[in-house]
């Protein structure tokens, strides 16, 4: 047999170059697009059709359905997309990913792009070393594009020649003559292969080369493609493992969508292939048999996904109900961290929009209060696994806090562009300040959690007196929090005594100053070492800062009331 282990390594190296090119190209495009991708996703998913179009567009741009679905899962996790919206985007991603197969078929087999790869790299080098990040990203994209087609060319070159190695052909044929069982076997192989490499585009390239080199026929190539559509869902499901319930449901919806499509295509497998053959033979005049088979496989991939979307786009609600029934909320998971009152799409009347934003701001304040409660529990959590889980939840809430501030602020800015009364303008200004201060409260809670975590890693503990002081300080902050929630809930302040907040703030400041002086004395008296004193005062100081942010929220509300009365 003329195919050695060295030849096999060259084949694997060629695949590695292809995969690396795909990765660099996708990442470069994502960097160029930046936050615009996020803006497109959140703005263009008002209904299932625009969701599908958005998913197809973004996936065609970034050349990776996995990147799009992982992005969608992360947005659902952060509450920026609803489950219904995410299903539409994922459907579109399945259509968008077929663009890669067409690029490979047209440029990889019809045009020798690899001959242009080195000149393209020469063009990309100055961009790579540019100081501007956008130019660097474009350079990375060109590098990735060049490596992708260099890898594809090397794959074709290093694939075993079956004419020189008839033993290999006989080995493959042992599994290609079993009728429909062969189809199922190659579907399974396509699934496993895509799960391993986590890139359906790479598996698609392998499938094209196997068919062109005569290893397998068109039927088995189509079966591999069906398997790739199931295997590609593994990436989103891996991304959702540590996510919230809604994100895990979005990932499962991707799996259900693709599996359903594979099942109905298998039911009409041979008639469907005949339809694909007719489409390619009718609309493409291709004399080269290698190019013809690559076009047929690409057409099969596209027609399959387009038909699947056309069938299931009407069943989005059913898919949503199915995944909700399968994945129940975790017992330890509180209400879903997502925007509840502000929805995407066109704004309602400006005045009603302010009401929606006010409700969302109140929800934001309540979540940061809950986050502070987690920090208090963290202080007394001894079991390692419980501590890690609780700290992870605080970390997650901090990310949600950042996203909520951005979304509410953007929404308020849109509302402010409409025709508003002077009172409404004052309210918007007040709420913009509120969400900024509430986000600072979230940052402060996370800083407290990190300090507690650093203290825990020293394997030392606070003294009973230190614990007593910390708990009292946290109680004062919690009381201030409670007052803040009441003020935010009732912006007109009917029956609310604002002075209570200022009294608590004065008490917090005085107590912090008292503990700061006492800490110096206690360290000098060696009641605890200097490092524990640092952690102790970090917690006390952060609690005092948190109290300041709470007062700022109350003051933002009070300013509106005072201006209205003047």
Asked whether residue 452 carries a pLDDT value surpassing 70, the answer given is yes
**Residue among 294, 290, 256, 262 at smallest CA distance from 276:** 294
Name the least confident of 218-232, 241-255, 477-491, 504-518: 241-255
> What's the pTM?
0.54
Between residues 101 and 428, the one the model is more confident about: 428
**Residue among 107, 262, 264, 269 at smallest CA distance from 194:** 262
Over residues 322-329, mean pLDDT: 86
Asked whether residue 31 carries a pLDDT value surpassing 80, the answer given is no
Residue with tokens 């933002």: 556
Over residues 379-402, mean pLDDT: 88
Residue with tokens 């996510």: 243
Q: Which fold has domain 350-565?
A: Methane Monooxygenase Hydroxylase; Chain G, domain 1 (1.20.58)
What average pLDDT is seen over the chain? Answer: 79
Q: What is the separation, in whole angstroms, between the first and last Cα of the chain? A: 95
Asked whether residue 353 carries a pLDDT value surpassing 90, the answer given is no
d(CA 504, CA 497): 12
d(CA 371, CA 368): 5
- For the chain, count helices (H), then strands (E): 24, 0
Over residues 447-469, mean pLDDT: 89
Cβ neighbours of residue 489 closer than 8 Å, sequence gap 6 or more: 362
CB 115 within 8 A of CB 348: no
Enumerate the CATH 1.20.58.220 domain ranges in the chain, comma separated: 350-565
**Residue among 58, 62, 1 at smallest CA distance from 27:** 62
Asked whether residue 316 carries a pLDDT value surpassing 80, the answer given is yes
Q: At what angle do helices 48-62 and 83-96 cross, to 10 degrees?
A: 50
Query: For 36-71, what is each residue's pLDDT tens digit?
Result: 555 665 555 567 777 788 788 777 766 666 667 766
Asked whether residue 492 carries a pLDDT value surpassing 80, the answer given is no
């Amino acid at each position: 047999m003329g195919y050695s282990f060295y030849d096999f390594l060259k084949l694997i190296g060629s695949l590695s170059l292809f995969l690396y090119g795909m990765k660099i190209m996708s990442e470069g495009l994502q960097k160029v697009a930046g936050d615009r991708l996020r803006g497109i996703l959140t703005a263009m998913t008002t209904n299932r059709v625009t969701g599908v179009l958005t998913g197809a567009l973004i996936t065609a741009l970034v050349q990776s359905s996995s990147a799009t679905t992982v992005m969608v899962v992360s947005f659902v996790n952060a509450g920026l997309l609803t489950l219904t919206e995410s299903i539409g985007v994922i459907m579109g991603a399945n259509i968008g990913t077929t663009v890669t197969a067409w690029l490979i078929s047209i440029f990889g087999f019809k045009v020798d792009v690899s001959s242009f790869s080195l000149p393209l790299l020469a063009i990309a080098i100055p961009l790579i070393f540019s100081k501007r990040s956008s130019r660097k990203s474009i350079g990375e994209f060109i590098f990735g594009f060049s490596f992708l087609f260099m890898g594809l060319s090397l794959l074709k070159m290093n694939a075993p020649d079956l004419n020189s190695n008839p033993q290999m052909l006989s080995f493959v044929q042992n599994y290609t003559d079993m009728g429909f069982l062969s189809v199922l076997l190659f579907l399974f192989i396509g699934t496993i292969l895509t799960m391993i490499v986590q890139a359906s585009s790479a598996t698609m390239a392998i499938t094209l080369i196997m068919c062109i080199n005569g290893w397998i026929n068109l039927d088995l190539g189509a079966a591999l493609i069906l398997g790739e559509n199931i295997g590609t869902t593994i990436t989103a499901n891996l991304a959702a493992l540590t996510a919230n319930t809604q994100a895990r449901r979005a990932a499962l919806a991707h799996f259900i969508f693709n599996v359903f499509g594979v099942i109905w295509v298998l039911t009409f497998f041979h008639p469907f292939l005949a339809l694909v053959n007719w489409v390619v033979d009718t609309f493409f005049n291709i004399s080269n048999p290698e190019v013809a088979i690559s076009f047929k496989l690409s057409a099969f991939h596209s027609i399959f996904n387009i038909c699947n979307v056309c069938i299931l786009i009407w069943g989005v609600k059913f898919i949503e109900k199915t995944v909700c029934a399968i994945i129940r909320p975790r017992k330890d998971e509180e209400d879903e961290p997502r925007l509840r009152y502000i929805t995407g799409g066109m704004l309602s009347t400006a005045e009603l929009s302010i009401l929606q934003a006010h409700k969302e701001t109140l929800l934001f304040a309540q979540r940061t209060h809950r986050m502070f409660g987690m920090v208090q529990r963290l202080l007394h959590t001894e079991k390692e696994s419980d501590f890690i889980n609780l700290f992870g939840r605080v970390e997650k809430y901090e990310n949600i806090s950042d996203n909520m501030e951005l979304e509410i602020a953007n929404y308020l800015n849109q509302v402010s562009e409409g025709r508003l009364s002077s009172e409404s303008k004052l309210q918007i200004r007040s709420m913009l300040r509120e969400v900024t201060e509430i986000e600072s409260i979230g940052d402060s809670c996370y800083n407290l959690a990190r300090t507690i975590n650093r203290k825990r890693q020293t394997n030392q503990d606070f003294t009973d007196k230190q614990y007593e002081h910390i708990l009292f300080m946290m109680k004062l902050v919690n009381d201030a929090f409670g007052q803040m929630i009441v003020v935010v809930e009732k912006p007109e302040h009917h029956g609310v005594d604002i002075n209570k907040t200022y009294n608590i703030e004065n008490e917090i400041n005085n107590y912090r100053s008292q503990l700061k002086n006492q800490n110096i004395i206690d360290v000098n008296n060696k009641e605890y070492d200097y490092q524990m004193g640092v952690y102790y005062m970090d917690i006390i100081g952060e609690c005092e800062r948190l109290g300041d942010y709470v007062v700022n929220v109350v003051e933002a509300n009070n300013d509106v009331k005072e201006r209205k009365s003047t």
